[in-house]
Amino acid sequence: MPERFVIGTRGSKLALWQTETVGRAIMRAFPEIEVEIRVRNTTGDINLASPLAEIGDKGLFTRELETDLLLGEVDMCVHSLKDLETEQPEGCVVAGVLPRADARDVLVCGPRIQAASLAEVPEGSRIGTGSRRRVAQLKANFPNMVPEGIRGNVDTRVAKAEGDDYEGAILAAAGMKRMGYEDHIAAYLPIEDMIPAPGQGAIAMEVLKKNERAYQIARALNDPVTKACTDAERFVLFSLEGGCSAPIGAHCRLEDGKYIFDACVLSLGGTKAARCHLEADADSADPMDMAWEVVSELIGEGARAILRDIKNGKDTGQ
């Protein structure tokens, strides 16, 4: 009789795609296992009208899944790592991540504009994004645009971006590709123009520490380079006490034998910024050591003061 293994997930098309990908990988690596997928709506799924920052940034897309995990109703939860809090509930751990997809953001253009980069977007264009990180970087780097709030799953946001209320939108490359919308991408945004969110493009497997079998399975699927880089990115977010909706970008990657680490903290209006760019030889560097240096540099450039003003309501983005 097959060994039953239950995975909890959100019900969006993207979440199901990610979970089914994990499920297939588990059954390839462990032929004795039969995976069952259990769908759960989260607070972020139910409230699609309010901006994410107004709902609160603590576990919007994960809390209900983690409750099921703690109750033993599922053996594993699969998340978009960028949606997962840097501190898990007691007893929960991200034991593994799949190899990372493209972590960049992309531009989707509606019929009224044509642009192969953000620099080519016409002045006054309404660009949809529900992310404070993206809004702040747009305002800082491309102040000619007008960021407008947008919510919904990938297909919904693409349709809105190509409709009457927006000239375009910014979405994650990974989600666009996974949902088959690659032909709607007008431009891939360079890291220097739009630093991604910590963990962007990575699929996380969260289990209970005490569940040795689930932990073993997640570790078997884990990609060490992705895990090292995303752990470092999430350490930056944790150290600055920023939630998932804070205007913080952090991206570490292994490229041509080097670890390259970019990070930024911006005011909501993009007028204040702390930035950091580090490179180190991969043979001698460790991403987590680099993360400590990144945090130190960002704090030295005023990151804590920027985030404190946002938290205290002194920075409204105007």
Which amino acids are annotated catalytic? 83
Residue 245 carries which DSSP code?
Answer: T
Contact 5, 36 (CB under 8 A): yes
Residue 98 carries which DSSP code?
Answer: P
- Cβ-in-10-Å burial (0-12, 13-18, 19+) of 51 comes to middle
Pairing of the two strands 3-9 and 76-80 = parallel
**Six-digit token pair at 5?**
């293994």
| φ, ψ at 264 (rounded to 5°) | -155, 150
**Six-digit token pair at 83?**
């949606």
Tell me the three state secondary structure of residue 13: helix
> Which residue has 């407008």 as its token pair?
148
Pairing of the two strands 33-39 and 185-188 = unpaired
- Relative orientation angle of helices 13-29 and 212-221, to the nearest 10 degrees: 100
Q: In what order do the strands lie in the sheet with 248-255?
A: 248-255, 258-266, 273-281
Tell me the three state secondary structure of residue 258: strand
Taking the C-alpha atoms of residue 95 and residue 221, their distance in angstroms, rounded to an integer, is 9
Taking the C-alpha atoms of residue 128 and residue 157, their distance in angstroms, rounded to an integer, is 8
Q: How far lies 159's CA from each of 13, 46, 169, 279, in Å?
A: 15, 20, 10, 39
Taking the C-alpha atoms of residue 208 and residue 210, their distance in angstroms, rounded to an integer, is 5
